[in-house]
């Protein structure tokens, strides 16, 4: 357990050293505090035969939802620092498991690296030699690519839903048997019972009724059409014949 913890502490210490405002003595004090806290924390949560058991409890994690890791925050307070003085990455997960220490920068996508491995009697400790600058840069690039791809698919789906699923509401409130055509990515709905068709038919029927010979309405309409100021007359000389 102590070998895995030592590798994890060296890795975190190198990240803290990127903050040039902290003195070397203060960084060393922080790493000693962190090592002591991890030993106490992992004592009853370390299973050599089941490395994945208790993995979530042992990991050191920083992300936008939990910007402060409790273990790092406690170690910083014990040596007189604040968590933000450590200048840690905004998204990082460090798994400290039996026989292996693994790190990932980023949440959904990011750069991953094997910090140390202690399997089958072989020691592969890269905590002192890992290129941190390259890991952080690759994590940023992958995150940008992921966000761009997600925005592209989101915009594509929104356009598709707007064209196909979000039907424009018709004034008559009926949507059955409707058809549409796409013209320059714009939806043009066609409905046989729309207001335009009904008004047209209604006007034509009204016109035929008013112009029908021999009807009372025909005589009234003809008389009114000869007097354009009939609405202002006090008395009307119009007589309607009875059928």
Q: Which tens digits make up the pLDDT trace of 201-227? A: 555 555 555 455 455 555 555 554 555
Question: What integer pLDDT is reported at residue 106 of this predicted model?
Answer: 82
Nearest-10 Cα torsion for 139, 135, 55, 66: -50
Say how far apart CA 4 and CA 10 lie, in whole Å: 10
Phi, psi angle pair for 179, to nearest 5°: -130, 155
Sign, CA torsion 82/88/94/96: negative
- In 3D space, the residue among 105, 99, 140 whose CA is nearest the CA of residue 121 turns out to be 99
Chain length of the chain: 243
- pLDDT values of the chain reduced to their tens digit, one per residue, 243 residues: 999 999 999 999 999 998 889 999 999 999 999 999 999 999 999 999 999 999 999 999 998 888 999 999 999 999 999 999 998 988 899 999 999 999 988 876 678 889 999 988 888 999 998 888 887 777 667 666 555 655 555 555 555 555 555 555 544 444 444 555 555 555 555 555 544 444 555 555 555 554 554 555 555 555 545 555 544 444 445 444 444
Say how far apart CA 9 and CA 32 lie, in whole Å: 8
Question: What integer pLDDT is reported at residue 222 of this predicted model?
Answer: 53
Say how far apart CA 106 and CA 222 lie, in whole Å: 84
Angle at 54 between CA 52 and CA 59, to 5 degrees: 90
Domains of the chain: 2-143 (3.90.640.90), 168-230 (no CATH)
pTM of the model: 0.59
Question: What integer pLDDT is reported at residue 64 of this predicted model?
Answer: 86
Q: Which tens digits make up the pLDDT trace of 145-154? A: 555 655 555 5
Say how far apart CA 174 and CA 66 lie, in whole Å: 50
- Bridge-based pairing of strands 179-183 and 111-119 is unpaired
- If DSSP codes are grouped into helix, strand and coil, which group holds residue 114? strand
């Amino acid at each position: 357990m102590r070998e895995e913890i030592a590798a994890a502490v060296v890795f975190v210490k190198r990240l803290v050293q990127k903050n040039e405002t902290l003195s070397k003595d203060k960084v060393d004090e922080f790493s000693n505090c962190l090592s002591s806290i991890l030993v106490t924390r992992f004592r009853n949560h370390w299973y050599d035969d089941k490395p994945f058991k208790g993995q979530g409890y042992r990991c050191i994690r920083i992300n936008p939802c939990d910007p402060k890791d409790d273990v790092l925050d406690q170690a910083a307070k014990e040596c007189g620092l604040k968590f933000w003085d450590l200048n840690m990455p905004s998204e990082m997960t460090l798994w400290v498991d039996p026989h292996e220490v693994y790190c990932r920068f980023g949440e959904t996508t990011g750069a991953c690296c094997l910090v140390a491995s202690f399997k089958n009697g072989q020691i592969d400790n890269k905590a002192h030699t890992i290129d941190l600058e390259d890991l952080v840069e690759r994590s940023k690039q992958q995150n940008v690519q992921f966000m761009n791809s997600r925005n592209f698919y989101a915009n594509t789906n929104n356009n598709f839903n707007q064209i196909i699923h979000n039907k424009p509401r018709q004034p008559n409130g009926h949507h059955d048997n409707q058809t549409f055509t796409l013209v320059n990515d714009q939806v043009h709905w066609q409905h046989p019972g729309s207001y335009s068709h009904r008004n047209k038919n209604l006007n034509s029927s009204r016109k035929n009724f008013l112009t029908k010979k021999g009807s009372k309405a025909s005589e009234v309409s003809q008389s009114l059409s000869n007097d354009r100021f009939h609405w202002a007359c006090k008395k009307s000389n119009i007589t309607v014949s009875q059928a």
